[in-house]
A and B are shown apart, each in its own frame.
Chain A
Amino acid sequence: MPLVETGTPSPAPYVRVADDEALPDGAVIVSAERLLAESESLRVRNGDLGVLWPNDRDVAELEPFLPRLNLVALDFPKYRDGRAFSQARLLRERYGFKGQLRATGNVLRDQLLMMSRSGFDAYEIDKDADAAAFSEALKSYSVFYQPTGDGRPTIRGLRAALRGKEKA
């Protein structure tokens, strides 16, 4: 499954570790349960730490762990299940998470731009062809109506700038 990263690339590939497996050295992704149960030992462990957070669990619970987390992976169990779009915006815009926000699961080309707008900066993409078309997919729109935390200019802002120019 191809991984596309648009933010700071991971120093080394993350390894997903099952709950009953011992933690290897290096960058790991653990489950939400393990993060909560072993928070103390995980906090002091060397190596990058990520969590796979399910889409039916409140991301507010993650808040105290965010300073220690290098990565949060949010799940799209089916591409039609859009809960992680809201979770991503909350993590970025409300809780100020700065690490990698990775989309995982049934990630398809036609949702990539919306994921990016919601705050994702890494994508485990289902199909090779979709991954190859990544930059094209992100360019499918140049104008956006709603403000999110992604920094892209909104139509409202562009209109206001235009009015400013007219006045000047």
Chain B
Amino acid sequence: MYVYDEFDRSFLQERVVEFRDQVARRLSGELTEDEFKPLRLMNGVYLQLHAYMLRVCIPYGTLSAPQLRALAHVARRYDRNYGHFTTRQNIQFNWIKLEELPDAMADLAKAGLHGIQTSGNCIRNTTTDPWAGATPEELEDPRIYAEVIRQWSTNHPEFTYLPRKFKIAITGAQRDRAAVRVHDVGLRLHKRDGEIGFEVMVGGGLGRTPYIGKTIREFLPKEHLLSYLEAILRTYNLGGRRDNIYKARIKIQVHEMGAEEFSRRVEREWEETRDGALKLDDETMADIRSRFITPDFEKLPDNPLELTIEQDPAFLRWKANSIVPHKEPGHAILTISLKPVGAPPGDATADQMDAIADLAERYGYGEIRVSHEQNLILPHVRQKDLPTLWRALDALGVATPNVGLVTDIISCPGLDYCALANTRSIPVAQRISERFSDLERQKEIGLLHLNISGCINACGHHHVGHIGLLGVEKKDEEFFQITLGGKGNSKARLGSLIGPAVAESEVVDVVERLVDTYLALRTSPQESFIAAVERLGIDPFKESAYAPR
């Protein structure tokens, strides 16, 4: 957990004052809506279908307990008692009044929180592995570098009016849980000749024109991280397209120019600056590292009696589903599912947030993470506390053992909130969740990522869902296109369209038929849905999806 120092705090206070002034100038008419728009966007304020939406930044998905309480406070005081966690590890409040925004921001700033650069054509919140600093399969904690990037990219004078938004993700583990290949820039820590550095990928992204990022440098020594990023951003700022909003992301520039030429330009630019003021020396890195609080882990045995004695089948089911190993003996990483049956994916009420903050303090060294899958994570819990924690979470309605299963759906907010959407994605998610609510059946089906986007902008990342649903409008009616076989991990791949879009009223049945086809054709329960799709191709699924009934 990074702790702000006086400089971070001064900056944030000045930002609040600046935004208050901008809102006042907008309300007085001194700023036109057109002029105000990028300013409010860069503070996380969208104008949605029914109201202003505030997106609060959760840097690399890491929250302290007091910060989670501050989010609960905003939900309660300025919104309708809930917030919505996003695929980029942030949180959104959907019903904020413009006049109250500066106060909400001032309240957030007291806890070191803000909406800076959660929107707009600038460098967005850097996302990373929600298990960072806790998983045993990590080379190095990526949050240190995410924080280095946060500081460098915050209010960057050169890169605040880019052609389009810019998203960076970073992973330090064997398995990629940050989807680095579908970001504008993906960074992967790896070791070469005993030295740790970054593989740099550029030009990935979903949206209307999905691309898997291309590696433009296999190995970047760590001290050059910022100069290299600055070279990429400068190449993009000067050369990215600005004639068409749908062609303005860096992925289009990389695609049109070719990754080799893009890489050559970045390298040429970087040669000029690599040993300049952005070079990260050991002292700077040590300083940033020193402001991360690492929990003082208790010395504890694995599988203590308090844990093994608990034999309630519901507990065992939850434990098998929601707990993964921790690097420290006697500890565990716990996922709190925000996907209860029939509810909008990723929502949490103010009371739930407060209670989870309390539990994190009591049982989890005070730290909470937000995952890309729109769940919360307690990264450091003691195994002996798991039975108690489970009861508490169950009482809050956040102990559904469906992590990674078919009802752990990633969905965009859709037409219930969003002005861009064509379709209402949340009700579809709710109905799928109800259809597959039987926990035994879900477990039987096993690992299955189902993603829903309410329109072509792909905020629900349907391209990388094992099953992806994309809402489209045809003659004023809602339809869904279905893709199969997408993956967002280190072997990222875009799903294949199986055929014509199906009517909204049929989409749940079709999903069920796809799942049943998998169950019928898998070689064994060990063969996952995605493995079966890879082995069989989409044809048998297509056949069953469109079979006349």
Residues of A within 8 A of B (CB): 58, 79-83, 85-87, 89, 94, 108, 110-111, 113-115, 117-118, 129, 140-148, 154-156, 158-160, 163
Contacts of B17 in A (CB 8 A): 140
Q: Nearest Cβ distance between residue B300 and chain A, in whole angstroms?
A: 36
CB-defined contacts of B14 to chain A, threshold 8 Å: 140-143
Report the count of interface residues on B (CB-CB < 8 A).
37
* Other-chain residue from A85, A143, A154 in contact with B161 (beta carbon distance below 8 A): A85
Tell me whether B237 is interfacial, beta carbon within 8 Å: yes
**In-complex Cβ contact of A85 among B11, B158, B276, B277 (8 A):** B158
Q: Across the two chains, which residue of chain A brings its CB closest to B158?
A: A85
Q: Is the CB of A118 within 8 A of B157?
A: yes
Cβ A117 vs Cβ B157 within 8 A: yes
> Are B156 and A155 neighbours in the complex by a CB distance under 8 Å?
no
Report B526 CB to chain A, min CB distance, Å.
49
The one of B30, B38, B154, B277 that contacts A147, using a Cβ cutoff of 8 Å: B277
Chain A residue numbers with a CB within 8 Å of B238 are 58, 83, 86-87
Would you call A81 and B7 a contact (CB within 8 A)?
no
CA distance A85 to B160 in the complex (A): 9
Complex Cα spacing A163 to B156, Å: 25
Q: Are A159 and B11 in contact (CB under 8 A)?
A: no
The closest CB in chain A to the CB of B39 belongs to A110
Complex-state Cα separation, A151 to B98, whole angstroms: 37
Looking at chain A's contact residues, the main secondary structure is helix
| With known contacts A94-B272, A145-B151, A159-B287, A79–B7 Cβ distance under 8 A | no
Within 8 A of A (CB), among B225-240: 234, 237-238
* B161-A146 in contact (CB<8A): no
Judging by beta carbons under 8 Å apart, are B162 and A146 in contact? no
B22 touches A146 (CB 8 A): no
List B residues at the A interface (Cβ < 8 Å).
5, 7-8, 10-11, 14-15, 17-18, 22, 30, 35, 38-39, 121, 151-152, 154-162, 234, 237-238, 242, 272, 276-278, 283-284, 287
Q: Can you list 7 A-B contacts with CB-CB less than 8 angstroms, sorted by A residue number?
A: A58-B238, A85-B159, A89-B158, A110-B39, A140-B14, A141-B155, A148-B158
Cα separation A148 to B5 with both chains bound (whole Å):
22
Chain A's closest residue to B284 (CB) is A156
- Whether the pair A142, B283 counts as a contact (CB closer than 8 A) is no
The CA of A141 and the CA of B15, in the complex, are separated in Å by: 8
Contacts of A155 in B (CB 8 A): 7-8, 11, 151
Q: B160, A114: Cβ atoms under 8 Å? A: yes
Task: Report the separation of the CA atoms of residues A82 and B15 in the bound assembly, to the nearest whole angstrom.
Answer: 21
The minimal Cβ–Cβ distance linking B236 to chain A, given in whole angstroms, is: 10
Q: Which residues of A contact B283 (CB under 8 A)?
A: 160, 163
**Cα distance, A120 to B18, chains bound together (Å):** 21
Taken together as a complex, chains A and B put the C-alpha atoms of A80 and B120 apart, in Å, by: 10
Contact among B30, B152, B161, B272 with A82 in the assembled complex (CB-CB below 8 Å): B161
CA distance A89 to B277 in the complex (A): 14
**Nearest chain A residue, comparing its CB with the CB of B152:** A146
Residues of B within 8 A of A111 (CB): 161
Kindly state the separation between the CA atoms of A117 and B278 in the bound complex, as whole angstroms: 16
- Asked if residues A146 and B11 are in contact (CB atoms below 8 Å), the reply is no
Give Cα distance in the complex from A80 to B42, angstroms. Answer: 12
CA–CA, A143 and B159, complex, Å: 17
Residues of B within 8 Å of A156, CB to CB, are: 151, 284
**Across the interface, do A86 and B158 meet the contact criterion of CB distance under 8 Å?**
yes
- B105, chain A: closest CB distance, angstroms: 15
Complex interface: chain A residues within 8 A of B30 (CB) = 129
Residues from chain A with a CB closer than 8 A to the CB of B152 are 145-146
- Choose from B7, B18, B35, B157 the contact partner of A146 (Cβ within 8 Å): B157
Among A87, A89, A111, A156, chain B packs the most CB atoms within 10 A around the CB of A156
Contact B155 A118 (CB under 8 A): no
Tell me the nearest residue of chain A to B8, going by C-beta.
Answer: A155
A167→B10 CA distance, assembly (Å): 24
Q: How far is the CA of A143 from the CA of B5 in the complex (A)?
A: 12
Shortest CB distance B274–A (Å): 13
State the Cβ distance, B179 to closest chain A Cβ, in Å.
26
* B121 contact from A80, A87, A129, A163, Cβ within 8 A: A80
